[in-house]
Amino acid sequence: MRKILLILTLSTLSTASFAVNMMGRTGIGYSNQLISDLDALSFKVQKSRDLAYGALLAIDGDDENIDYGLGVKIYKYIFDEPQLNFYGAALIGLIQRDDESGFQVDGTLGSEFHIPGIESVGFSFEFGISVNKLDSSTRVQTVGYNFFSAAVHFYL
């Protein structure tokens, strides 16, 4: 019985010892990182083992007003663990909200994790610093984005 338990344990550990490889895959999902307070469509492409880039697009408009947020993001992977990738990221965005326009620049550290058996879905969280300006006010803020606001991507 001990031998069977040891074999099962070792086989489980050996299959879980590799991080999820998303190289060359495109992720499509959502994010709520832009200061426009709009949910954004999020796109992410991992170009190499240690570099990915992405884009955010948020729009809300009617006959009188259009609010939007557009952003580009670059990810630098620091290290990976089973089902988990740690990264640093930079976001640059343009914002239009309530007749005010401005920009957003974020520098964050974060992680994307995948549930074993469902590697095509990635959940992210991030924390860091944001500098943003809307017309008359410039703000420097600490930020923390949980799984529901940082990003959820479905990888094709």
What pLDDT shows up at residue 41? 95
Considering its fold, how many domains does the chain have in total?
Answer: 1
pLDDT at 20 over 80: no
Indicate which CATH number applies to the domain containing 91: 2.40.160
8 Å CB contact between 148 and 32: yes
Side-chain-facing half-sphere of 95: CA atoms under 13 Å: 25
Q: For the segment 102-156, what is each residue's pLDDT rounded down to a tens digit?
A: 999 999 999 999 888 888 999 999 999 999 999 888 999 999 998 878 899 999 8
Cα 3 off chain centre by:
43
Write the CB contacts of 38 (distance below 8 Å, at least 6 apart in sequence). Answer: 32, 58, 59, 60, 67, 68, 69
Question: In 5-32, which positions are buried (b, 16+ CB within 10 angstroms) versus exposed (e)?
Answer: eeeeeeeeeeeeeebbebeebebebbbb
Parent domain of 117: 2-155
pLDDT at 13 over 70: no
